[in-house]
Chains A and B, each alone.
Chain A
Amino acid sequence: MRSTPPPRAGPRPPGPPIRVLLAVVGVLAGAAIGRAAEPAPASAEAWQTLSLGDDTQAASQFAGIGATREAELGAALAAINRPPVTPTSLHDAQRQLTELARTADDPGHAAHYFLGRLLQLHPFAPDPAAAVREYEALVATGADDRWCRLALIKLVILRLTLVPGPGDLAARQAAVEAALTRTADAGTRRDLHLVIAEARLGDERYDAVTLGHLRAALAATAPADILRPDLLIQTGRLASRLGDRPVARASYAAFLRDYPKERRTFTVSSALEHLDGPFPP
């Protein structure tokens, strides 16, 4: 707590009106600093509205907040889905995002990421190749922030499916695997293992590389995670196909132990029972 300064000679100390004014200024400044640390209530309300999918109302709320970068990002995101969605409305959203993306801060990176998403998920003219370029540019900043991590995952998904990278299959696989080295975030690495395994299984690449990704994803998945039952079955079935019975047995047993009410329990029990022979019997 500040002490009261001693009386001194010279000009008179500020009178009560000025003290009140200074106090008010101090309070306002304090409030402003507080707002910088956490979202203002109005801002939180607008984000809440946007999270519920009411884009029109959210746009109006963001417009009422003022010209902060956070509010501008909110307004740009609301413009992506605000009805009626037309080429003009999407062009407008794209323009707002492009403007925001010129600055390399959090709203800027978010805007950059959503430029890629808009290109990829555009309702009238999707351009996954252009989206890949956006994601690559964002990942190339090396920021490893939330938006770069998301861009990295979306980049890998597109490279594994719609927009294969240059070179032969081995080169493309190596490029995708390299994504794992571009982030230190454990959650993102888990998600990368998940999407790589999913795409490889979708292409029926039932090999040790896919099993490795499944096991890595499983190891990083909490017991209560909703994806874990699937991962246990996938690991069990792929290990069984590859002749790795100990891993298959352990995965099936973990599934039966941890999810006794799951609707696939009978099927998994049967698979475990017939681990040494053909399945289904």
Chain B
Amino acid sequence: MTETPTPLWEVFIRPRNGLSHKHVGSVHAADAELALQAARDVYTRRGEGTSIWVVPSAAITASDPDAAAEFFEPTADKIYRHPTFYEIPEEVGHM
């Protein structure tokens, strides 16, 4: 007998109104509705959430760890991109 593996879903939970959804983990489920329920049962048992997203793990395109050097290292010496790099003139006050 062959068994198809149950699809994997990534779970995102919004902790409170106004905050954004955060990745919390993954669940196995046959379809989206059961994935939502599994996420509810696994990840919101202690009142963690007010909203859940589930996304098929297969739908996520991830960056290649082997390409990390070309993806991320070029930003390392561009410290002028950080707002803290600039001196704000006194007259501006608080931004």
A and B: bona fide binding partners: no
A interface residues with partner B (beta carbon < 8 Å): none
Q: Which B residues fall within an 8 A CB radius of A?
A: none
